[in-house]
Amino acid sequence: MNPLLLLILIPALTMAGIMLAGDVKQARVISAVGMSAQLLFSFVLLYWFYQLRQSGNTDEMVFVSTTVWYPSLNIQLKFGIDGISMSMIMLTSIVTFAGVFVSWQVEYLTKEFFISLILLATGVFGFFISLDLFTMFLFYEVAVIPMYLLIGIWGSGPKEYSAMKLTLMLMGGSALLLVGLLGIYFNSAANGGPLTFDLMQIAKNGLPREAQMFFFPFTFIGFGILGALFPFHTWSPDGHASAPTAVSMLHAGVLMKLGGYGCFRVAMYLMPEAAHAMAWFFIILTTVSVVYGAFGAIWQKDLKYINAYSSVSHCGLVLFALLMMNETATTGALLQMISHGLMTALFFALIGMIYGRTHTRMIDEMGGLMKVIPFVSVLYVFAGLASLGLPGLSGFVAEMTIFVGSFQNVDTFHRVATIVACSSIVITAVYILRVVGILLLGPVRNNHYLELKDAMWFEKLGGVTLLVSIMIIGIAPLWLSNLLREPLAAMLNQLTN
């Protein structure tokens, strides 16, 4: 059996286990065990992956297994990973692991909560290991839909509205995407042969130019909506604001990465000519996104809104870098995906912890938290520093790779765009420090807060896992960068030819 299938099987078993669980406590423990196993297995997978590479295996994809599923439509269950998917899998398992621990105290419909959460994660895992557009799309939707319940049931504030808006916008995105995918499918055999959903095969066959020009926008925007592409990002602030902690974490941390990954793996990789022809337009959009999100974040008062806008900015940077279409920028984009995934998950985890204690997310209602809940606060500062790109934390590595890479494009347009995008690092600093200043520092504004308890063990575990990951990437980025870069040469070759 393909070891990759374990990535789906473990969560599936966990879900089954939770379903059978007798009480809340058992459900919790089973989820924790399951997701720990998943995390462990991802490490094992990483090890195997390295071993394979070390042993001289230079296949584009490894652990490939192909099973014909619908023979008449040539739909396959084709799985396989390369360095990019490998790192995304790591990201997902880390965030899910942390997410389970952070939601330790969910009391209402606990079993259902964990099942939905893990179902979401399963979708993400499946998406990342799929090499067939059909299964990819299937897992994509599997990942999106539990959001509705998760936000709607366990969320806060105008949760129904937000959940609905998020779901509909993302599904609207998948509407575009579906058209794009079908277009790809029906043009996948321009030179004869059977139509196919097989990613690698399509890349090999190439799509006719007219088809590319028509379907690229569908596919790119379709994925881009999930990647918070301006102006289709508005689901993000509302959605995050209402979502329960772990869901925000998974969503911003992992699910939004599906967008970027898809934009690259599917839209750009399969339709290089169109990507080249239309990059300018999307570069403008993403550049706007980067700056706009950052400026938007400055004015917000709700912690989650701040982080959501910041995500818009950071995810904009991902797409921005992808569109630069060179090895360095693309590596940067992938690094940024991982880095943003980890730090935004950390952010949301911490916001959840703060909200759980103070019952507000309005920064001007709080103050001086550093004194009362130092552990959470310190983590928050770290997350903030990672977000504004402090060296030694992951954000810096990603952003610098992006900027250096983007600057390799010699024409004025790309350079001006790069410089504009660069300016976001200042704006980011402004809103991060503003929040830190108002929220954590200064005198304690509300005397009730003096009795708050600092993070519990499970919260600490969740937060520290994320922080350590951020630091590892920040301090020793080379292995990750190489892991991500390794498949890029071939892919970019496709893109530039």
Partner 1 sequence: MTWNTLFIMRHEVLLTLLIMYELLADLSDETNRTRMVNVTIAGFFLYMLAGFVPSENAALFGGMYVNDELRVLLKNILSVSTFIVLLQSSGWAKSPIHQGRAGAFYLTLLSTLMGMFFMISAGDFLMLYLGLELATLPLALLASFDKEFRRSAEAGAKLLMSSAVSSAVLLFGLSLMYGIYGTLQMEDIAQMNLNSDIHTIAIIFFISGLGFKLSLVPFHLWTADVYEGSPLPVTTYFSVVSKGAALFTLMLVLYRVFRYQPEEWRMPLYTLSVLTMVVGNLFALRQKNMKRFLAFSSITQAGFMLLGFMNFGRIGMTTIVYFMLIYGLSNLAVFGVLSIIVRATGKESMDDLNGFYSTNPRLGLVMLLSLFSLAGIPPVAGFFGKFFLFTAAASAGMYILVFIAVLNATISLYYYLLVVKAMFINKNETPIPSIQSTFYEKLAIGICLTGILAIGFVSQLYEYIQGLM
Partner 2 sequence: MDFSFTILILALPLFSFALLGLTSKSLKADLAGYAGTTSLLVITVLSYLAAWRYFGGGDAEAGFGTTIAMNYLWLNFTDTLQIHIGILLDSLSIMMLVVITTVSLMVHIYSLGYMKGEKGFQRYYAFLSLFTFSMLGLVVATNIFQMYIFWELVGVSSYLLIGFYYERPSAVAASKKAFIVTRFADLGFLIGILMLSFSTGTFDFDALTSPTGPVISQPAGSLFMGLSVTTWAMLFIFMGGAGKSAMFPLHIWLPDAMEGPTPVSALIHAATMVVAGVYLVARLFPIYAMSAPEALDVISYIGSFTSLFAAVIACTQLDIKRVLAYSTLSQIGYMMVALGVSGYGGEAGLGYMASLFHLFTHAFFKALLFLGAGSVIHAVHSNMMTDMGGLRKYMPVTHVTFLIACLTIAGLPPLSGFFSKDEILVAAFEHNKIIFAVQWLVAGITAFYMFRLYFNIFWNRTPEYHHAPHESPVTMTLPLSFLAVASVFAGFVPFHELVTSDGKAFETSFHVLVALPSIAVALVGIGLAYIMYFKQNERPTKLAASISGIYTAAFHKFYIDEIYIFITKGIIFQFISRPVAWFDRHIVDGTMNLIGNTTVAASVVIRRLQSGKVQLYIWFFASGVLLLTLYMLLQ
Residues in contact with partner 1 by CB under 8 A are 69-73, 75, 134, 137-139, 141-142, 145, 148-149, 152-153, 159-160, 163-164, 167-168, 171-172, 174-176, 178-179, 182-183, 185-186, 214, 218
- Find the binder of partner 2 among 139, 481, 484, 495 (CB under 8 A): 481
What is d(CA 394, CA 90) in angstroms, rounded to the nearest whole number? 15
- Dihedral of the CA atoms 60, 61, 64, 67 (nearest 10)? -80
Smallest separation (angstroms) from partner 1 to the CB of 16: 13
Residue number with CB closer to partner 2 (318 or 398): 398
Q: How far is the CB of 235 from partner 2 (least distance, A)?
A: 8
Nearest to 268 by CA among 288, 252, 282: 282
* 79 DSSP 8-state letter: E
Cβ neighbours of 6 (radius 10 Å): 19
- Choosing from 107, 478, 489, 497, the residue that interacts with partner 2 (CB under 8 A) is 478
Shortest Å, Cβ 5 to partner 1: 14
- Give the C-alpha separation, 32 to 9, whole Å: 15
* The entry of partner 1, partner 2, none that residue 174 binds, CB within 5 to 8 Å by partner kind: partner 1
Is residue 229 at the binding interface for partner 2, with CB under 8 A as the rule?
Answer: no
Residue 75 vs 283, nearer CB to partner 2: 283
Residue among 165 and 276 whose Cβ is closer to partner 1: 165
Nearest to 103, CA basis, from 89, 120, 87, 91: 120
138 interacts with, out of partner 1, partner 2, none, CB within 5 to 8 A per kind: partner 1
Closer to partner 1 by Cβ: residue 182 or 433:
182
Q: Which residues contact 57 (CB under 8 A, 6 or more apart)?
A: none
Structure tokens at 455: 């993070």
State which amino acid sits at residue 155: G
From 88-96, 131-139, 353-361, 364-372, span contacting partner 2 (CB under 8 A): 364-372
Query: Of 7, 90, 11, whose CA–CA distance to 46 is shortest?
Result: 90
Q: Taking CA 419 as the corner, what is the angle to CA 253 and CA 430, rounded to the nearest 5 degrees?
A: 55
175 interface partner picked from partner 2, partner 1, none, CB below 5 to 8 A per type: partner 1
404 touching partner 2, by CB under 8 A: yes
**Contacts (CB under 8 A) with partner 2, residues 161-200:** 165, 168-169
Residue 442 binding result from partner 1, partner 2, none, given CB thresholds of 5 to 8 Å by partner type:
partner 2
User: Which residues have C-beta within 8 Å of that of residue 419, sequence separation ≥ 6?
Assistant: none
CB of 164 to partner 1, least distance (A): 6
The binder of 328, among partner 2, partner 1, none, by C-beta within 5 to 8 A per type, is partner 2
Q: Which does 70 bind (CB under 5 to 8 A by kind): partner 1, partner 2, none?
A: partner 1
Task: Spell out the SS3 assignment of 164-233.
Answer: HHHHHHHHHHHHHHHHHHHHHHHCCCCCCCCCCCEHHHHHHHCCCHHHHHHHHHHHHHHHHHHCCCCCCC
Cα(144)–Cα(29) distance, integer angstroms: 25
Q: Could you say which residues in the range 282-301 bind partner 2, by CB under 8 A?
A: 292, 295-296, 298-300
**Sequence letter at residue 146:** P
Are 28 and 42 in contact, with CB atoms under 8 Å apart?
A: no
Q: Smaller CB distance to partner 2: residue 180 or 296? A: 296
Smaller CB separation from partner 2, 68 or 419: 419
For the packed helices 457-475 and 327-358, what is the interaxial angle rounded to 10 degrees? Answer: 160
Give 475's contacts (C-beta < 8 A, 6+ positions apart).
392
Task: Specify the residue, 162 or 328, whose C-beta has the smaller distance to partner 1.
Answer: 162
Alpha-carbon distance of 37 to 17, in angstroms, equals 14
How are beta strands 75-81 and 62-70 bridged, if at all?
Answer: antiparallel
Distance between CA atoms of residues 46 and 33, nearest Å:
20
Q: Is 9 in the site for partner 2 (CB under 8 A)?
A: no
Q: Are 303 and 363 in contact (CB under 8 A)?
A: yes
Query: Rounded to the nearest whole angstrom, what is the least distance from the CB of residue 385 to partner 2 in the complex?
Result: 6
Count of residues in the chain: 497
Here the tokens at position 38 are 């998943």
Nearer to partner 1, 158 or 374 (CB): 158
**Three-state DSSP state, 354:** helix
Q: Which is nearer to partner 2, 352 or 368 (CB)?
A: 368
Q: Which does 462 bind (CB under 5 to 8 A by kind): partner 2, partner 1, none?
A: none
* Site residues (CB under 8 A) for partner 2, limited to 421-450: 422-423, 425-426, 429-430, 433-434, 437, 440-444
> Is residue 231 at the binding interface for partner 2, with CB under 8 A as the rule?
yes
In angstroms, give the least distance from the CB of 206 to partner 2.
Answer: 27
Question: Toward partner 2, which CB reaches closer, 112 or 454?
Answer: 454
List of residues contacting partner 2 (CB under 8 A): 165, 168-169, 230-231, 233-235, 237-238, 292, 295-296, 298-300, 309, 327-328, 368, 370-371, 385, 388-392, 396-397, 400-401, 403-405, 407-408, 418-419, 422-423, 425-426, 429-430, 433-434, 437, 440-444, 476-478, 481
